[in-house]
Amino acid sequence: MFKNCIVRKPAKSMVEGITSAPELGKPDYELALKQHEQYVKALESCGVKVLVLEAMEDFPDSCFVEDVAICTDKCAVITNPGAASRNKEILGIEPAIREYFNDEDVHRITSPGTLDGGDVMMVGNHFYIGLSERTNMEGANQLIEHLGKYGKTGEAVPLFEVLHLKTALAYLENNHLIVGGEFITHPTFEKFNKIEITEDEAYACNCIWMNDTIIVPEGYPKTQKAIEDKGFKIITVDTSEYRKLDGGLSCLSLRF
C-alpha cells in the first residue's frame, strides 16, 4: 500500500512543453491547474499524503515528476532524464526525495546512462525497464544494480512504438496488467491477467493503482468498464491538457 505521493504544480511555461502531438494544440494553463487540483484530491481520497511542490517555470515539463525519480519502499533513485531540456529537473526533486529517505538510500543514474521514470514499471519487487529514446541500456543496468542492493530485481524491455513503457502498460496488482499496442502480444507479459485496451482508447492504458482504487483518465468508457469488470473501484480524472504534452496520470506523481 502506498503512503505518500509527490506532485509538482504545472508551470505557466507548460504551454511550451515537449510534445509529439502538436495537432492537439497547446495546453490551457488555467484548465491544467484545475485538473491538477482534482488529481491531487483523487490521490488523497485513496488514503495517501500528498506533497505538492511549487511550479518550476524554467522547466515546462516539470509537472511530470515521475520521470525524475524512482521511489520504492526502501530506496529512491534520482534519474538522468533522456531529454536534455528536462535534465536539470532532478535538482528540483532531490530535496523533496531526501525528506523521505536516508541519504545512503538515495542513489543516482549517471551519464552515459539515461533513464526516465516513465519507463519503469514496478511489479512487487521486480521492475520492468523500457529501453526507449529516453532510457538506454546503461541507465537500465545502473537502476538494476541499485535495486539489487535491496533485494529487488529488474529486466530491460525494448520499446519500438511508444514513448515510455508505461504509455501502454499499467500494473493493477494481483497479477492484473493493462496492456495496449505492442505489448498485447509481447512474450514478456504473457504470465499476467491482461486487460487489453483497444487502439481508440490507447491513451487510457496509463492508469494508476492507488491502494486498491484505480485512477483512470476521464473519457474512456470501454477501459473503465474493462477495469470495473475485474472488480476494481475506479476514480476518473480529466487529464486533457497533459495529454497535449504526452503526459498521463502516472507521469504526474511519485507514489511510494
Q: What is the DSSP string of 123-184?
A: ETTEEEEEE-SS--HHHHHHHHHHHHTTT-EEEEEE-SSSSSGGGSEEE-STTEEEE-GGGT
> 8, 118, 119, 4: which is closest to 63 by C-alpha?
8
What does the alpha-carbon distance between residue 122 and residue 130 come to, in Å, rounded to a whole number?
Answer: 12
> 42, 7, 41: which is closest to 247 by C-alpha?
7
Residues sharing a CB contact under 8 Å with residue 91, sequence separation 6 or more, in sequence order: none
Q: What confidence tens digit (pLDDT) does each residue in 201-238 have?
A: 999 999 999 999 999 999 999 999 999 999 999 999 99
Burial of 151 (0-12, 13-18, 19+ CB in 10 A): exposed
**Residue numbers annotated as active site:** 164, 251
What's the topology of domain 4-255? L-arginine/glycine Amidinotransferase; Chain A (3.75.10)
Q: What confidence tens digit (pLDDT) does each residue in 152-179 have?
A: 999 999 999 999 999 999 999 999 999 9
Burial of 190 (0-12, 13-18, 19+ CB in 10 A): exposed
> 42, 34, 8, 4: which is closest to 236 by C-alpha?
42
Q: What confidence tens digit (pLDDT) does each residue in 50-75 have?
A: 999 999 999 999 999 999 999 999 99
The pLDDT of residue 49: 98
What percent of the chain stands above pLDDT 70?
Answer: 100
Residue 229, Cα to own-chain centre: how many angstroms? 24
What does the alpha-carbon distance between residue 121 and residue 94 come to, in Å, rounded to a whole number?
Answer: 21
pLDDT band at 20 (very low <50, low <70, confident <90, very high): confident
